[in-house]
Amino acid sequence: MKRIFLLIILLITFQLSHAQINNYEEGDIVNDFTVTDVRGNVHNLYSITAEGKYVLIDFFYIACGGCQSLIPIFNEFYDKYGCNEGDVFCIAINAGYDKDEDVIAFEGTYGGEEFNHAPAVSRDGGAIDVNADFDPMYYPALCLIGPDNMMVKSNISPYETLEDLEAGLPSEFNPQPMSCSLSIDEYSSNTNFTIFPNPTNGKEITIKLNKFNHAKINIYNILGENIYTGSINETRKTINPNLIVGTYFISLQTDKSISTHKLIVN
């Protein structure tokens, strides 16, 4: 029993001290990449670092319990330091398992409604190639890239709180907190539309738009499967998706944003 306990301690120590990224050691120059997030925005690594920014990457997949715990902390960090407008650019890269709709549902469930959400990239947006290039040892994995495209920190842990994440950053990196120019309502908002009744019997659902008058409607089940697609071209619309009992996510997508609400059918 004592030997097993010592082995467990050694394994934990190894995981906390060893690099989370297999293909890059600290001091290595990382390869450039271009990805498209689930909101349709394109991000190029070298263009971001050319602005003098550090880049903090969260490698994740939606069924990962640790990833579910980290994402609201990651978003809180993103929100605190200016929503990518300040010294650091935050981006979440999927392991390549999950599609846009999966990641949208993941963010809606675990991302933290009180925070703006960092850009997240699914397999649809090029996450597979980036994940393969960095090759995280396990998930979630956090790493920090400098303005010179150098791997500054390949193991940022632990990250059970925002303070943990901040303490894990290298001492020479001292980002300045700043307010986001976009509010939660304008960016990752769950307030761009309302749905009622909620909970519902799943037969008839009314959607009321708050900030736009045209959007694509998608409804996903808890597995991320798209079970309803439609559109809304007025400020209010009633749909009849005939949902069975369960938890769903209604996503409305415009040219500029994606907003998601959880829907309970009982």
- State residue 228's pLDDT score: 92
Which value, in Å, is the radius of gyration of the alpha carbons in the chain?
Answer: 20
- State residue 134's pLDDT score: 98
pLDDT at 64 over 60: yes
d(CA 182, CA 199): 30
Per-residue model confidence as pLDDT tens digits over 171-228 = 889 999 998 865 444 444 444 678 888 888 989 999 888 766 678 898 988 777 788 9
Mean pLDDT taken over the chain = 85
Q: What is the DSSP annotation of the chain?
A: -HHHHHHHHHHHHHHHHS-SBSS--TTPBPPP-EEE-TTS-EEEHHHHHTTT-EEEEEEE-TT-HHHHHHHHHHHHHHHHBTTTTSSEEEEEEE-SS--HHHHHHHHHHHS-TTS----EE-GGGTHHHHHHHH-BSSSSEEEEE-TTSBEEES-----SSHHHHHHTS-TT--PPPB--SS-TTTTT-S-SEEEESSSB-SS-EEEEESS-S-EEEEEEETT--EEEEEEE-SSEEEE---PPSEEEEEEEE-SS-EEEEEEEE-
CATH number of 18-167: 3.40.30.10
Residue ranges matching CATH 2.60.40.3080 in the chain: 193-265
Highest mean pLDDT, choosing among 1-5, 7-11, 244-248: 244-248
CATH for the 193-265 domain, from 3.40.50.80, 3.90.850.10, 2.60.40.3080, 3.30.450.40 = 2.60.40.3080
pLDDT band at 263 (very low <50, low <70, confident <90, very high): confident
Residue ranges matching CATH 3.40.30.10 in the chain: 18-167
pLDDT at 32 over 90: yes
Mean pLDDT for the stretch of residues 139-158: 94
d(CA 45, CA 83): 16
